[in-house]
Amino acid sequence: MFRISQYLRDLATAERTGSYPALPARRGAGLPGPVVIWNLIRRCNLTCKHCYALSADHEYAGELSTQEVFTVMDDLRAYRVPVLILSGGEPLLRPDLFDIADRAKVMGFYVGLSTNGTLIDAPMANRVARARFNYVGISLDGIGAVHDRFRRLEGAFDLSLAAVRHLHERGVKVGLRYTMTDLNAGELPALLQLMHDEGAEKFYFSHLNYAGRGNIHRGRDAHFIATRRAMDLLFDTAWRDAQAGSPREYVTGNNDADGVYLLQWVRERFPRWVEPLRQHLQAWGGNSSGVNVANIDNLGVVHPDTMWWHHSLGSVRERPFSTIWSDTSDPLMAGLKQKPRAVGGRCAQCQHVAICGGNTRVRAQQVTGDAWAEDPGCYLDDAEIGLDARAAGATERVAVTPFKSARSARIEDIPVVSS
Ligand code: SF4
C-alpha cells in the first residue's frame, strides 16, 4: 500500500517549516508481524468483474470454523500481527463475523472490515458500529449505473452509498475503495467529489491486479496514460488536503511505481525536497507481499497476499500461521523476502527499483509465467526509469496479452470456480 497523504503531509510540513521531517524508525527484528488480510468467507451476494476471489452467491465447503479462526487468532497475536482486515467474499454473510470481530478487538488488534456495503442497512450498521471496527472500507467503482455494471447488480450503488451514510451517522470511520480499469477510469473525479461530499475519511485507489476475475479481465486494464492522469488527480487532490491540514487519507494499492511517479510529481513542483522524499520512499521500499502483508483464505490456506490465491504456502490447519510465514523453503516466499528482490527485465535495469521493490510480481507471473520478470503494469516510460531503449541489450516491453483459459473459452463462458 502506498500512503500518498503521509508523504504529502511531510511535504506540506517541509514547505511550511523549511525542514523535511525525519525518517521514521526502521522496522527490524522483534517488531510486528505482517498485516493479515483474512478472507473469512468466499460467498458473496455480488459477482464483481474484478473479484480476485472469483466469489459467487453459494456456499463453499470446508471453510474455517469459528473455533479454528479463534485458534489462528491466538497464534497471530503471539506473532505480533498488528492488523486484521476481515474480508471475503462478503464478510457480513458469515454468521459468526461479529463474534470474530469482538474477539479481535478484545485481543488488541486494529480491525478493518472490507465490504461491498450492499447489506448494511440501519440495523446492520448498528451491529457494525457496536463491533468497534477501526475502519470500514466500502467498494465503489463508479457513480450509479457504472458501479452497478461493475458489481453486476442494479441498485448496488444506492445500497453502498446508503451504507456509507448509515455508518457515518453512527460515528464509524469509512473509506471508499475504487479499482480502476479502462471501463471506469473516467469515474475518478466524481468519486473523489463524492468522498468529499460524504465526508469519507479515506480513499483507496486500487490498480487492477491480475488475479481471479481481475486476471480474466486484464485486457481491460487502464491504459498507462489514463493511469498517469488518475495519479496526477490523486496527488493534486491529496496535496490540497495536506496543505489545508485535512485528515482525509489517500492511499493506493497494487502498483508500487506510484512512489516513483510521486517523486517525479514533486521534482516538477518542489525540486528542493526530492532527495529527502527519495530517502523516505526508499525506506518504504515498495511492494511488501510476503513480507509486511499476508493473506489467509477462507479454507485457511496462507498466501503471500490476496492476489496469490493460485500459490499456497500451507494451511493453518496443519501448521501455525507463524511457522508458515517464516518458512522460506518455498521458492516464491524466499524470493519475495529477499532484499533486494532478484527481479529481471526492465525492473532489473530501473534506477528506482529501491523505491518500488520491483512492483507486483503477480502481474509478471500471470503474463509471462516468470514471477521475476518485469511488471507489465508499470506505467513509467523508459526515460523515467533511466533506461535507454536504444542501448545494446535493451528489450521490448512485455505486452499485456488478453487472458486465455486453458480451453480457450470466451471470457463470458468461463465458469466461476467453486471449491
Ligand atoms: S520498471 Fe519495475 S522497478 Fe522500475 S518503477 Fe517500474 S515496476 Fe518498479
Q: Is 117 in the pocket of ligand 1 (CB under 6 A)?
A: no
Sheet of 293-296: strands edge to edge?
2-3, 249-253, 202-207, 174-180, 135-139, 110-115, 83-87, 35-39, 293-296, 301-303, 314-315
Which atom of ligand 1 is closest in space to residue 260's alpha carbon? 5
For residues 25 and 299, the model is more confident at: 299
Q: Is 380 in the pocket of ligand 1 (CB under 6 A)?
A: yes
Segment 342-357 shows an average pLDDT of 96
Confidence band of 398 (pLDDT split at 50, 70, 90): confident
Integer Cα distance of 366 and 234 in angstroms: 28
For residues 315-326, give the mean pLDDT: 98
Q: Are 113 and 135 in contact (CB under 8 A)?
A: yes
Q: Is the peptide bond before 276 cis (omega within 30 degrees of 0)?
A: no
Q: Average of pLDDT values for 398-414?
A: 50
Q: Which of 284, 347, 368, 374 to mutate to test the pocket of ligand 1 (most atoms within 8 A of CB)?
A: 347
Tell me the per-residue pLDDT of 258-314, one tens digit each, with 9 for 90 and over: 999 999 999 999 999 999 999 999 999 999 999 999 999 999 999 999 999 999 999
**Cα separation, 184 vs 285, whole angstroms:** 29
Residue 24 pLDDT grade (very low, low, confident, very high; cuts 50, 70, 90): confident
C-alpha cell at 417: 470456480
Alpha-carbon distance of 164 to 174, in angstroms, equals 7
Nearest C-alpha to atom 1 of ligand 1 is from which residue? 347
Question: Which of 352, 316, 360, 306 lies closest to 336 in space, CA to CA?
Answer: 360
Say if residue 40's pLDDT is above 70: yes
Query: In sequence order, which residues have a C-beta less than 8 Å from that of residue 409 and are 6 or more positions away?
Result: none
pLDDT tens, 134-144?
999 999 999 99
Q: Does residue 355's CB lie within 6 angstroms of at least one atom of ligand 1?
A: no
Q: Is 283 exposed, middle or buried (0-12, 13-18, 19+ CB in 10 A)?
A: middle
Q: Which three cell numbers stand for residue 195?
A: 468522498
What integer is the mean pLDDT of 14-28? 87
Asked whether the bond before 285 is cis by omega within 30 degrees of 0, the reply is no
Residue 408 has pLDDT above 80, yes or no: no
pTM score: 0.90
pLDDT for the residue numbered 319: 98
Q: Is the CB of 375 under 6 A from ligand 1?
A: yes
Q: Which residues contact 373 (CB under 8 A, 6 or more apart)?
A: 343, 344, 345, 347, 364, 365, 367, 398
Q: Calculate mean pLDDT across residues 61-84.
A: 97
Nearest to 278 by CA among 292, 295, 265, 291: 265
pLDDT value at residue 407: 42
* pLDDT reading at 414 higher than 80: no
Please tell me the distance between residue 181's alpha carbon and the centre of ligand 1 in angstroms.
Answer: 20
pLDDT bucket at 198, cuts 50 / 70 / 90? very high
Question: Is residue 347 lining ligand 1, measured as CB closer than 6 Å?
Answer: yes
For the chain, the distance separating the N- and C-terminal CA atoms, rounded to the nearest angstrom, is: 29
Which residue has better confidence, 162 or 387?
A: 162
pLDDT number for residue 219: 62
Residues with Cβ within 8 Å of residue 130, at least 6 apart in sequence: 98
Q: Is 36 in the pocket of ligand 1 (CB under 6 A)?
A: no
Separation of CA 368 and ligand 1 centre (Å):
16
Cell triple for 354: 529501491
Indicate whether 390 pLDDT > 70.
no
Q: How far apart are CA 214 and CA 179, in angstroms?
A: 10
Q: Got the DSSP string for 317-381?
A: TTS-HHHHHH---SHHHHHHHSSS----HHHHH-TTHHHHTT--HHHHHHHHS-TTS--TT----
Three-state secondary structure call for residue 296? strand
Q: Using CA atoms, how far apart are residues 178 and 229, in angstroms rounded to an integer?
A: 15
Radius of gyration of the chain (CA): 21
Residue type present at position 391 = A
The pLDDT of residue 216: 57
Establish how many alpha carbons lie within 13 A of residue 10's alpha carbon, considering only the half-sphere containing its beta carbon.
19
Question: What's the mean pLDDT when you consider all of the chain?
Answer: 90
CA–centroid distance, 346 to ligand 1, in Å, is 7
In short, whether 341's Cβ falls inside 6 Å of ligand 1 is: no
Residue 211: predicted pLDDT? 64
Which residues is 269 bridged to in the sheet? none
Please list the residues that pair with 390 across neighbouring strands: none
Can you give the pLDDT at residue 143?
A: 97
Give CA–CA dist 136/210, Å, rounded: 24
What's the pLDDT score for residue 415?
A: 29
Cα–Cα distance measured from residue 116 to residue 118, given in angstroms and rounded to the nearest whole number: 6
Using the Cα atoms of residue 138, residue 413, residue 378 and residue 88 in order, give the sign of their dihedral: positive
Question: Mean pLDDT over residues 146-158, rounded?
Answer: 89
86 Cα: distance to centroid of ligand 1 (angstroms): 30
Where do the domains of the chain lie, and which CATH numbers do they carry? Answer: 11-328 (3.20.20.70)
Measure CA 338 to chain center.
21
pLDDT at position 212 over 70: no
Confidence grade of residue 411 (pLDDT, cut at 50, 70, 90): very low
CA-nearest of 65, 58, 116 to 87 is 116
More confident site: 397 or 251: 251
Indicate the range of 52-66, 205-219, 300-314 predicted with least confidence: 205-219
